[in-house]
Structure 1
Amino acid sequence: MAAISLKNIIKRYASGKHTNQVIHNVSAEIRDGEFVVIVGPSGCGKSTLLRMVAGLEEVSEGTISIGDRIVNDLEPAERDIAMVFQNYALYPHMSVFENMAYGLKIAKIPKDEIRARVEKAAGILELMPFLDRKPRALSGGQRQRVAMGRAIVRQPQVFLFDEPLSNLDAKLRAQTRLEIQKLHRELGITSLFVTHDQVEAMTLAQRMMVMHGGVMEQFGTPEEVYNKPATTFVASFIGSPPMNLLKHVSGLTEGTIFGVRPEHIDVGRGDWRLEVEAVELLGAERLLYCKMGLDSLIVRIQEDEPVPAIGSSILAAPRSDKVHYFDAATGLRKIL
């Protein structure tokens, strides 16, 4: 296992007047054995950053270290990493065992050790009953587990996951997330996991790196990112539904945006008068889509609370210890 150090990472494509910079001065220290998720919308640079760690993209400026080695100029095979992609990339004519063993066979690992490694990984991933099957006889979730098993048997210092759950349906995604958590607990290998899904990020990460436009907007635990978002982008991206960002709250300091999450607004009392425009029923909770003057906002209420009629007017109040303030010009969090 090994720590990963990113220092002032910049990535540019082309040069001169055609230069397109897609990663802007990213620095982060990933601890030995830590599970870090890189999350952000499509095109934010998260996969490019992961591919630079893997050696599949060159670094324009800055240094990447794995353990005590700077790896900028090392080939992927020399970095002691294993990567799991969105595409399982299994050999259709090989069995599960042969797929998992193939890299070890090419590396001329002794047969007895290959079998021991494959069977250990298959046991962890609950693949033992399927070792003789071809990929076509497996479900999508089982194929993804085979791809993870192929990475595990290499016994790398670092795992890199590039949106590995994107091809799975919602139920399988949830199930596979639990399997990945279990896998990390058992192996303790330093892991970088890329996703655009903030639910995946919140549930898997020990710490998470939120990317936007090639910039790392925040790096912290899920609790830190959720409870103290560093920018309006983080506030609006992390959380479902996202934080309400209001510009016309009475008494608000000029140049400040007022933030409050939907679950931190109490209904039935307070100085806010909201017009209910729509109601969304979500089992144990309801979402009220409201207007307050020029601002739109969402309020989350529980199933045992009365549901106001669409078109009605209700009183509400934000919880004073749960509000946030951001600079309207920069989007940065403010301490008032």
Structure 2
Amino acid sequence: MSAISFRNVIKRYGKGPKANQVIHGVSAEVEAGEFIVIVGPSGCGKSTLLRMVAGLEEISAGDIAIGDKVVNNVEPAQRDIAMVFQNYALYPHMRVFDNMAYGLRIAGVGKDEIKTRVDKAAKILELGHLLERKPRELSGGQRQRVAMGRAIVRQPQVFLFDEPLSNLDAKLRAQTRLEIQKLHRELGITSLFVTHDQVEAMTLAQRIMVMNGGVMDQFGTPEEVYNRPATTFVASFMGSPPMNLLRHAPGVKPGTVLGIRPEHLVFGNDGWIVQVEQVEMLGAERLIYARIGDEQLVMRVDEGLPVPAIGTPARIAARPEKLHWFDAGSGKRLSDA
């Protein structure tokens, strides 16, 4: 396994004044064996960044290093990486065993070594009973495990995952997340995982790289990103429901934005007077949507607690130790509050 270094990486399409720059100087150090999730909305540059690591996109400026070697001009096949795609990319006419073994055969690996590697990967992914089947005989989750198995047998220095769970339903996504976590614990291979799903990011990552318009807004642990977001974008993107961002509530000074997570609001005898607009039942908890002036906020409460009726006023207080303050112009965090 190898570390990955991003050194002021820039990506432009086209040349001259009409060039479209989509990655704006990303710099980050990924430690050997880390599982990093690159998260952000569509068009933020996350997949482009991953494809530059893979060698599928040229780097316009800056450097990417895998281990001690700058790979800007290294062919993809020479980078010692394995990639898992969203669409599985399995050969429909081949058995599972042959799909997993194909890359090794092309590389000239011997039959005995191929069988050893495929059998080991199949055991890790619980695919042993499926090795004789064709892809059409598999579920979506099983096909994705075969795609991961094909990557595992390569024994690469780096795994690259490009939204591999997007085609799975919610139950299979949750199950496959657990399998990916188990896989990383067993193999310890440096991994970059691209997703637009912040739940995947929070549950899978050792550290999260949050991308916004081609800029890395924050790079930190899930706890750091959730509890101390660096920008209003990170605050609003990470979390379900996202952080409340209030500009005109009482106590908010001009030029600042107040952030407060829904679970850090409580009903009480003092605080802001709000109008309750909607209540969502979510099993063990409820989401209360309320309006304060011209701004809406959302509050998360446990299922057993009483809530005001829709259309009635209520008082909501924010826990003072959980307040976040941001600059209204730049969106950047102002304090450690």
**Which bin holds the TM-score, normalised by the shorter protein?**
over 0.9
Deviations 1:275-332 (A, max 9, x none): 0001110000000110011221001111010122110111110000001000000000
1:219 and 2:219 are equivalent in the alignment: yes
SS at match of 1:117: helix
Residue 154 (structure 1) aligns with? 154
1:133-144 matched pairs, under 5 angstroms: 133-144=133-144
Residue 295 (structure 1) aligns with? 295
1:15 and 2:15 are equivalent in the alignment: yes
Residue 228 (structure 1) aligns with? 228
SS at match of 2:211: strand
RMSD in angstroms over aligned alpha carbons? 0.7
Q: Given the two structures, how large is their TM-score scaled by the length of structure 2?
A: 0.99
Once the two structures are aligned, what percentage of the paired residues are identical? 73
Residue 95 (structure 1) aligns with? 95
1:35-184 matched pairs, under 5 angstroms: 35-184=35-184
Return 5+ residue gaps in structure 1 as ranges: none
Per-residue deviation, 1:153: 0.1
AA matched with 2:240: S
AA matched with 1:183: L
Report the Cα distance in structure 2 between the residues aligned to 1:307 and 1:130, rounded to whole angstroms: 51
Report the Cα distance in structure 2 between the residues aligned to 1:270 and 1:25, rounded to whole angstroms: 47
Residue 304 (structure 1) aligns with? 304
SS at match of 1:27: strand
Q: Given the two structures, how large is their TM-score scaled by the length of structure 1?
A: 0.99
Report the Cα distance in structure 1 between the residues aligned to 2:92 and 2:292, rounded to whole angstroms: 57
AA matched with 1:299: M
SS at match of 1:279: strand
Report the Cα distance in structure 1 between the residues aligned to 2:321 and 2:251, rounded to whole angstroms: 17
Return 5+ residue gaps in structure 2 as ranges: none
Report the Cα distance in structure 1 between the residues aligned to 2:201 and 2:284, rounded to whole angstroms: 23
Per-residue deviation, 1:253: 2.0
Residue 318 (structure 2) aligns with? 318
SS at match of 1:333: coil
Per-residue deviation, 1:270: 2.2
Report the Cα distance in structure 1 between the residues aligned to 2:11 and 2:269, rounded to whole angstroms: 51
Per-residue deviation, 1:268: 2.6
Report the Cα distance in structure 1 between the residues aligned to 2:251 and 2:306, rounded to whole angstroms: 29
Report the Cα distance in structure 2 between the residues aligned to 1:268 and 1:139, rounded to whole angstroms: 50
Deviations 1:236-278 (A, max 9, x none): 0000000000011223222000010000001133221110001
Per-residue deviation, 1:56: 0.2
Deviations 1:50-94 (A, max 9, x none): 000000000000000001100000010000000000010100110
| Contact kept? 2:271, 2:318, Cα under 8 Å | no
Deviations 1:2-45 (A, max 9, x none): 00000000000001132000000000000000000000000000
